[in-house]
Amino acid sequence: MLYQIYEAQRAFLSPFAEFASASAKLYTHPASPLTHAPGSPRVAASFDLLHRLTKEYEKPEFGITSVKVGGTDVAVQEQVIEHRPFCRLLRFKRYTDNAQRLEEMRAQPVVLVVAPLSGHHSTLLRDTVRTLLQDHKVYITDWVDARMVPVSEGRFRLDDYVAYVQDFIRKLGPDVNVISVCQPTVPVLAAISLLASHGEVTPRTMIMMGGPIDARRSPTAVNNLAMNRTIDWFEQNVIYRVPNNFSGAGRLVYPGFMQHTGFVAMNPDRHANSHWDYFLDLVRGDDDSADSHRQFYDEYNAVLDMDAEYYLQTIRVVFQDFSLVKGTWEVNGQLVRPQDITTTALMTVEGELDDISGSGQTRAAHDLCTGVPADRREHYEVVGAGHYGIFAGRRWREMAYPEIRKFIATHQG
């Protein structure tokens, strides 16, 4: 019922959002006489803020059309390489007329970025992808909003997530380098472990960034919530059926709006201050700061639903049973054995101030991957970075990325 109430509220507020947007333009458009009325900047800013607080946020575009490679601007085209019911495998193909640059790009390493399926769309990693494209051929998992997947397509579990990752690794070949950001560190480690156990070729490198490999270490508020509630509690309180106005009507999901509410509740003062600063920027006419706010919240407020089975299985395996680190996790009847990985180089990356995946949680992968030689393992802590800072923003570009680029280059055989 909560989902239906939420949708009714959204439909109710939609006309007000449009009215607020139109009203803001009436007080800012050069041709409008209201633009010159006393106090018009504050009125316009108020309507603009009301619009943003009541509008619906759709999935953003990656919007990467060009990057610099070796000082040369090259065009980028987004391509769908494979389409599964719950995920699309995207490639960001680069084009140039410079023959020398083209040969250099063809020789660059292949990178598969496994995006998190934890509430936000894969476009959250836009900065990650754009930066990687300077020196790599880049692919990314683009997870589909579960409310858009018809019930006839069947269920989606954590085990299926692992199988998707395995298939994508096989498709891209033995020279692929896999980067997992946050939530997928666990299923990615499982996927590569199972490939190794079956005698299949594993990736050149696996780079794990800010993920809950061992959520018992330095538990955060996010970890504590998952650890201190029973599975029955989650089923009864956060799982709902998709309403009839979506193609996934009837599917049991963990709604994205609940995840978003949880994110905001972690730092309510920060978000309130950010919106107040946005209002003041509009009044002052500081368009650059206002645009920065819009870009961040257009991404932050766009969320997706997760299939209930996947969500509940993740809670149980990762945050309650700690099955991976205890060596008891079975995926489709096969025991996950990270110690079987021997040829794939391992790098872990953590943020010093990460409040989502605490200190040491990602580094725990080194304790599990005992078959990887010490000279093929590395850990890097991004000083001063929070959770998002390890894969987006200045610290990602200037601190984390150079280390990752060097690690990938070192282990290309």
**Spatial separation of the C-alpha atoms in residues 303 and 103, rounded to whole Å:** 39
Do 284 and 406 belong together in one domain?
no
Count of structural domains within the chain: 2
Cβ–Cβ < 8 Å for 322, 214: yes
Do 121 and 180 belong together in one domain?
yes
241, pLDDT greater than 80: yes
Whether 24 is covered by a domain: the verdict is: yes
Q: Among residues 274, 300, 326, which one ends one of the domains?
A: 300
pLDDT of residue 215: 94
Whether 251 is covered by a domain: the verdict is: no
Whether 61 is covered by a domain: the verdict is: no
Q: Give 229 or 263, the one with higher predicted confidence.
A: 229
266, pLDDT greater than 80: no
Whether 250 is covered by a domain: the verdict is: no
Identify the CATH number of the domain in which residue 171 sits.
3.40.50.1820
Do 118 and 81 belong together in one domain?
yes
Whether 247 is covered by a domain: the verdict is: no
pLDDT band at 71, cuts 50/70/90? Answer: confident
Per-residue model confidence as pLDDT tens digits over 307-350: 999 999 999 999 999 999 999 999 999 999 999 999 999 999 99
Do 75 and 169 belong together in one domain?
yes
Q: Which of 22, 18, 42, 27 is nearest to 279 (CA)?
A: 42
Do 401 and 361 belong together in one domain?
yes
Q: Of 57-71, 333-347, 396-410, where does mean pLDDT reach its minimum? A: 57-71
Any bridge partners for residue 21, and if so which? Answer: none
Whether 377 is covered by a domain: the verdict is: yes
Assigned token pair, 10: 């959204």
Cβ–Cβ < 8 Å for 177, 109: yes
Q: Whole-prediction pTM value?
A: 0.93
Q: What is the DSSP track for 1-36? A: -HHHHHHHHHHHHHHHHHHHHHHHHHTT-TT-GGGG
Residue that is written with structure tokens 């598969």 in the block: 112
413, pLDDT greater than 80: no
H helices of 27-157, in order, are 40-54, 99-106, 126-132
Assigned token pair, 240: 């709902």
Do 322 and 287 belong together in one domain?
no
Domain of 374 in residue numbering reads as 66-233+305-410
Whether 249 is covered by a domain: the verdict is: no
pLDDT band at 8, cuts 50/70/90? Answer: confident
Per-residue pLDDT, averaged over 210-239, amounts to: 90
Q: Among residues 278, 300, 322, which one ends one of the domains?
A: 300
Do 265 and 404 belong together in one domain?
no
99 sits in which H/E element: helix 99-106
Share above pLDDT 90 across residues of the chain, in percent, rounded to a whole number: 80
Do 296 and 309 belong together in one domain?
no
pLDDT of residue 3: 87
Whether 179 is covered by a domain: the verdict is: yes
Per-residue pLDDT, averaged over 262-269, amounts to: 82
Do 98 and 199 belong together in one domain?
yes
Do 175 and 315 belong together in one domain?
yes
Q: Among residues 300, 335, 356, which one ends one of the domains?
A: 300
Average pLDDT across the chain, whole number: 94
Per-residue model confidence as pLDDT tens digits over 211-225: 999 999 998 888 888
Q: Give 9 or 206, the one with higher predicted confidence.
A: 206
Do 154 and 288 belong together in one domain?
no
Q: In degrees to the nearest 10, what's the CA dihedral of 145, 150, 152, 158?
A: 10
Do 96 and 8 belong together in one domain?
no
